Amino acid sequence: MSGVGVSTVAPAGRAAKPSRSAVLRYRAKIALREPTTLIGVLVALLFAYLIVVPILSLLLDAGRVQFGDERRIGEPAGSFTFYYVLRTLTSPVASDLFWKPLVNTFTISFSVIGISLVIGCILAWLLSRTDMFARRWFATALIVPYMLPAWTFALAWTTLFKNRSVGGQQGWMENLGFSPPDWLAYGQVPITLILALHYTPFVILLVGNALRRFDSQLEDSARILGAGPRVVAWQIILPLMLPSLMSAVILIFAKCLGEFGVAYVLGLPVKYDVLATSLYRSIGSRQTGVAAVLAGAIMLIGVISLMIDARLVREARRFVTVGSKGAMARRKSLGKWRLPATGFAATVFLISVGLPLLTLVLSTVMRVPANFAWSNFTLDYWIGTNLETVAMRSGVLLTPDLWRAAWNTLWIVGIASACSGLLGLLVGYVVVRTPVKPLSVFLRQVTFLPYLVPGIAFAAAYLSLFAVQRGPVPALYGTAAILMLALIADQMPYASRAGISAMMQLGRDPEEAAQIAGAGWFRRMTAIIIPIQKGALVTGVLLPFISGIKGLSLFVILAVPATDVLTTYSLRLIDYNYTQAANAVVLIIAGVAYFGTVLAQKVTKTNLADGLGS
Amino acid sequence: MPKITLRDADKSYGNGIINAVSDLNLDIEDGAFMCLLGPSGCGKTTTLRMIAGLENLTSGEIKVGERVVDNVATATFVPPERRDMGLVFQSYALWPHLTIERNTDFGLRLRNVPKAEREARVNAVMKTLGIEKYRDRYPTQLSGGQQQRVALARMLAVNPNVLLLDEPLSNLDARLRLEMRAELKRLHAEFKTTIVFVTHDQWEAMTLATSIAVMSEGRLQQVGSPNDIYDRPANRFVAEFVGSPPINIIELGAGSDLAMAARRYFSDHVPALGHAGSVGLRPEAISVSERAEDMPRGAFGVDATVTGVLPTGGSWILELRTAETTLFATTHIAPRLKDGSRARFWVAPDALHVFAADGTRLTQADDMLAAVARAQPHTTKKIA
């Protein structure tokens, strides 16, 4: 249709198209009119350095002769080699280095996924769609394992089941006269069980949320057409639940892939390795090249799993309807199953939270395990003085080491979290507001990259890059700075997602309204954006802080005694067999993480579940 | 108050893959109440945002008075905060962390207006819009209609040269919408601001605007007064977009009974229009004669059966079927016709809209058909 109007369409002759240089000049002017683009470029450079460069440097290490290996390989340091790849994949030690850990990692991951899906789906359904007793209470209680560090439970397990195979204080079972076999005390069985219980909350949260939002009209329509409950469940509910199930599966898989603490505590005594612990050992034994290959493999698996996830979710989302107004979950009456169902939830809670925590608490106040005589109880391990032990001569609360570690944790993780929160919001702002599209795409992707890289591989990357002086950057190994930088980078996926979604949710309108009203950039920032986003900023700082406190994999590689934090401190106590003290420290961490989470939810009036959509 | 001029304005996204606005030439006169009308995705909001400076051009120029605010060739771009305009967002975009009063005086504070004057102005604007009692509340504590008034007050407080409104009434219920329409008309008279208004609601456009610009797929279709747009649509798009129920279109090239009747009509009365592409009949221009011989001479008429009578409260929509085609007519007097009754339906010659094969209006047809009407003094345009 031609645009010729009857009346006053201006009759201007078509002006010549502006020249290419004029267009470029105009675009540059638009792009640089406000600091947004400049800030975006600076942030992009920062992340290129903090995220892309370490990963590249790590991958390069896998193909370069490392310092100290010149003799063995017969090439000068720095030249290109397949030696490490071959050593990891085909040499006689490859089986121990890579293949067995790989098989173990997959076995554990899939078992964990299977167990937590079954338990989690049942619980999610009970919590969101039935009239089980104390649903509200369970809804919070069953999420608690997620708020605590996973290896808390590993320690509880050793406290109970540790047998004679390993030195140091025996487990309760052993002391009660029953000697647990190795397969029960260490390795695959306990690791799988503990991780399954630890990740069940993911399933409960993701599937439960989806079930709650599920439009019951969809179910009703099927029923009216004559479908029985089974047909409804398999043909209506399950297909629509698939995206949430898939997210839960991939999330758990990614977490298992990078999981270090549990496998370290429970796998080491029987030489049961997963990829993460194998990587840790390679680093520990200064096999930088092999470590790089292992880290690369972990990253590759992470990338592949996320690509599968993206594809499946995209497929599945195509036909998912947006929850409509009819979304009102009706509760099913359980009838005579009401009590057994409640019993099931209570059992899961007891096994996954109650028992482990109780065990840990008791273990810190008992001299000899599993001796419940009154005289056996003591507070010495917490506040005692002049004890008879070799090194820990006073209770853990009176040890300066603890307070130093606590202080280190606080300020290192605190500063890193504050930076991540701010950077996340900044990334969100630039991504949403910059007129330069490629910048927005780059920032979005680069900040997501660490998500693909398990913490332990990321730490290895940092080690490889910052261990020595490079250009103007001094060797950072052993400083708090390297920990902070690694923490910031590691937390960016969550921080930037939070920032982007906060800015998306806010939309452009409030800022544009201020712009129309005559406010310049800085004015808009200080008077409109930051005050409105206060809540998001608090969340963006608090959540990384909590996950940083309980995080282990970054610290275990990058921390040195001078930068000891609570997690590495407790790990060292385990290594020295100060079981009670180690458990006490872990309890402190668990307490901080739990109350921090509760506080974060209170302050920001958010629910943990909302931040889990990733 | 300046006039706003858009010259050859283009806006494309993704390196020219998507053209939001193409070759837009539009003059918005000083003091006008101009409405940008079109279906969603037609580029009307983009046009408004380009005027405000929230979007920049891909090529072309925008002037406010003699001041060039955006020109790609000379790399001129005046940012929105220096254009001295007001914009009311569809979402209202009130700042949730500021009270109503602080929302309203935000612009005045930015301009360092002395306190006494600022308060006086804020009070006056709040009073005009009836929101003074909410001054200490926060936006979330207000209803949609009240928020809408605050969004207006916030912009009016700084007395902008131009007030831009982006579908401001679309989130209100029917009654409030009516109230706000009257309010906007009153404000326009009172503040004498140039208002540019975006809507997809033709009634809103018809009732409010002094001038309407109809857009489709990024291109301007027609600019004119509401009556112009309705009575002399420049092309098929405008004719079909404006009016409810929509205009009845007869494709003259088609083989239907109506098309043949229309071709016969033109060859009898205005042979010069034999090459026309289509003809449009507005539903309310269709009259009825129970006996065919009562139809005025010179009118275009067909026999049809009433297949549906739909009351709309005060008026009726009739569904008519000829042997092969369905037509819609509206009437304001209770139809004597029942379902299934047959009658002659006709349209006065000067109420016919004739379009060329490419969809543009054949303006010469209007004069020819007017001449036919004049030759038949009893044929009046509208009987209902």
A514 and B106 within 8 Å at the Cβ level: the answer is yes
Q: Measured between CB atoms, which of A5, A19, A435 is closest to B221? A: A5
Q: Highest mean pLDDT: which of A308-322, A518-532, B111-125?
A: B111-125
Token reading at A207 = 């599937």
Distance CA A457, CA A290 (A): 12
As given in the structure block, the two tokens for residue A174 are: 């052993």
* Mean pLDDT, residues A515-520: 89
Supply angle C-alpha B243, B249, B254, rounded to 5.
Answer: 165
Q: Which chain B residues touch A519 with a CB distance below 8 Å?
A: 81, 106, 110
Which 3 state secondary structure label does DSSP give A522?
helix
The confidence score (pLDDT) of residue A316 equals 62
The DSSP result for A360-387, as a single string, is HHHHTTBSSTT---GGGB-SHHHH--S-
What DSSP character marks residue B354? E
| Helix, strand, coil percentages for chain A (3-state, nearest 5) | 75, 0, 25
Residue A5 pLDDT exceeds 60: no
Phi-psi region at B182: left, alpha or beta (left = phi > 0; alpha = psi -120 to 50):
alpha
What lies within 8 Å, CB to CB, of B212 at 6+ separation is B34, B35, B37, B205, B206, B222, B223, B224, B225, B226, B229
Question: Which amino acid is residue A89, in one-letter code?
Answer: L
Strand partners, B289: B344
* Interface contact A515-B80, CB threshold 8 A: yes
**Dihedral of alpha carbons A221, A225, A230, A236, sign:** negative
pLDDT, mean of residues A166-175: 76
pLDDT of res. A12:
44
CB B95 to CB A510 under 8 A? yes
Segment holding B347, helix H or strand E: strand B342-347
| Residue in chain B nearest A33 by alpha carbon | B79
- Number of CB atoms found within 10 A of residue B237's CB: 23
Tell me whether B232 touches chain A (CB under 8 Å).
yes
- Among chain A, residues having any CB pair with chain B shorter than 8 Å are 1-12, 14-15, 17-19, 22-23, 25-26, 29-30, 33-34, 435, 507-510, 512-520, 523, 527-528, 531-532, 534
Minimum-distance CB partner of A30 among B77, B95, B361: B77
Let me know how long chain A is: 614
**What are the chain B neighbours of A530 within 8 Å (beta carbons)?**
none
Q: Which amino acid is at A202?
A: F
- Using alpha carbons, select from A589, A507, A491, A505 the residue that is nearest to residue A540: A491
pLDDT of residue A2: 40
CB of B107 within 8 Å of a chain A CB? The answer is yes
3-state helix vs strand vs coil in chain B, percent to 5: 35, 30, 35
pLDDT value at residue A145: 85
| Per-residue confidence band for A8, with pLDDT thresholds at 50, 70 and 90 | very low
CB–CB contact A516 B220 (8 Å): no
For residue B224, give the nearest of A7, A23, A528 by CB distance: A7
Chain B positions in Cβ-Cβ contact with residue A435 (cut-off 8 Å) = 56
pLDDT-derived band at A42 (thresholds 50, 70, 90) equals very high
Helices (H) and strands (E) counted in chain A, each on its own, are: 34, 0
**CA B180 to chain CA mean position, Å:** 17
Token duo for residue A422: 């701010």
**Nearest-angstrom CA–CA distance, B285 and B346:** 8
Rounded to whole angstroms, how far apart are CA atoms B22 and B43?
9
Residue A329's pLDDT band (cuts 50, 70, 90):
low
Q: Is the pLDDT of residue A326 over 50?
A: no
Nearest by CB to B363, from A6, A19, A527: name it: A6
Say if residue B79's pLDDT is above 60.
Answer: yes
Mean pLDDT, to the nearest integer, of A403-431? 90
Residues in chain A with CB shorter than 8 Å from the CB of B25 are 9-12
> Closest partner residue to B359 among A1, A23, A509, by Cβ?
A1
Closest CA to A279 of A266, A296, A262: A296
Whether the per-residue pLDDT at B62 is higher than 90: the answer is yes
Q: Which residues of B touch A537 (CB under 8 A)?
A: none
Contacts for A502 with CB less than 8 Å, ≥ 6 apart: A425, A428, A533, A536, A540
- pLDDT confidence band for B198 (50 / 70 / 90): very high
CA distance B94 to chain A (A): 6
Do the chains contact at B8 and A3, CB–CB below 8 Å?
A: no
Average pLDDT, chain B: 89
A516 contacts in B (CB within 8 Å)?
Answer: 52, 54, 80-81, 83, 85-87, 155
Query: What confidence score (pLDDT) does residue A104 get?
Result: 94
Find the farthest-apart pair of alpha carbons in chain B and give their distance in angstroms, rounded.
Answer: 77
pLDDT at A484: 92
pLDDT confidence tier of residue A350, bands split at 50, 70 and 90: very high
Interstrand relation of B326-331 and B316-321 (parallel, antiparallel or unpaired) = antiparallel
Closest CA to B87 of B36, B148, B151: B151
B47-51 long-range Cβ contacts below 8 angstroms, 24+ apart: B47/B6, B47/B9, B47/B21, B47/B198, B47/B215, B48/B87, B48/B164, B48/B166, B48/B196, B48/B198, B49/B166, B50/B6, B50/B9, B50/B11, B50/B21, B51/B4, B51/B6, B51/B85, B51/B162, B51/B164, B51/B196
pLDDT over 50 (residue A101): yes
CA of B298 vs chain A CAs: smallest distance (Å):
27
Distance CA B179, CA B129 (A): 12
B64: left (phi over 0), alpha (psi -120 to 50) or beta: beta
User: Are the Cβ atoms of B81 and A515 closer than 8 angstroms?
Assistant: yes
Which helix (H) or strand (E) element contains residue B129? helix B115-129
- Best interface-test mutation with A: which of B8, B140, B166 has the largest number of A CBs within 10 A? B8
Q: Which range has highest mean pLDDT (A102-111, A260-269, A325-334, A575-584)?
A: A102-111
Is the pLDDT at A212 greater than 70? The verdict is yes
Q: Kindly state whether B263 is in contact with chain A, defined as any CB-CB distance less than 8 angstroms.
A: no
**pLDDT value at position B382?**
44
Between A430 and B378, name the one with better pLDDT: A430
Q: What is the pLDDT of residue A113?
A: 95
CB contact under 8 A, B23 and A1: no
In this structure, the strands spanning B33-37 and B211-216 are parallel
Q: Which residues contact A541 (CB under 8 A, 6 or more apart)?
A: A417, A418, A420, A421, A422
Of residues A51, A40, A53, the one with CA closest to residue A440: A40
β pairing state of B85-88 and B162-166: parallel
Query: Given strand B278-281, what is the order of strands in its sheet?
Result: B248-251, B278-281, B352-355
Whether residue A437 has pLDDT greater than 60: yes
Give the number of C-alpha atoms closer than 13 A to the C-alpha of residue B48, restricted to the C-beta side.
29
Calculate what percentage of chain B has a pLDDT beyond 90. Answer: 49
To the nearest whole number, what is the mean pLDDT of chain A?
Answer: 82
User: Percent of chain B at pLDDT above 70?
Assistant: 97
Give the one of A6, A22, A515 whose C-beta lies nearest to B72's C-beta.
A22
Which SS3 state, helix, strand or coil, does residue B184 take? helix
Q: How far is CA B35 from CA B28, B206, B361, in A?
A: 10, 9, 22
Instruction: Indicate yes or no: pTM above 0.90.
Output: no
* pLDDT at position A582 over 90: no
Sign of the C-alpha dihedral, residues A506, A510, A512, A518?
Answer: negative
Task: Note the pLDDT of residue A7.
Answer: 40
Q: Which residues of A touch B97 (CB under 8 A)?
A: 531-532, 534
- B154 close contact with A: CB closer than 8 A: yes
* pLDDT of A613: 34
Residue type, A8: T
Least confident of A205-219, A401-415, B132-146, B280-294: A205-219
Which residue is closest to B76 within chain A, CA to CA? A26
Nearest-angstrom CA–CA distance, A9 and B224: 9
Collect all residues with Cβ–Cβ distance below 8 Å to B115 and sequence separation of at least 6.
Answer: none
**Please, are residues B329 and B320 in contact by the beta-carbon 8 Å criterion?**
yes
Q: Residue A517 and residue B107: Cβ atoms within 8 Å? A: yes
Would the CB atoms of A512 and B93 count as touching at under 8 Å? yes
Q: Is B138 on the interface with A (CB under 8 A)?
A: no
Place of tokens 């929850």: A323
Q: Is B354 exposed, middle or buried (0-12, 13-18, 19+ CB in 10 A)?
A: buried
Q: How many residues does chain B have?
A: 384
CB contact under 8 A, A9 and B223: yes
Q: Who has greater pLDDT, A93 or A312?
A: A93
Q: Is the pLDDT of residue B90 over 70?
A: yes
Q: How many whole angstroms separate alpha carbon A169 and alpha carbon A162?
A: 8
CA gap A210, A612 in Å, rounded: 12
Nearest chain B alpha carbon to A508: B93
From the list B87, B56, B86, B49, the residue with the least C-alpha distance to B70 is B56
Q: Is the separation of the CB atoms in B273 and B368 below 8 Å? A: yes
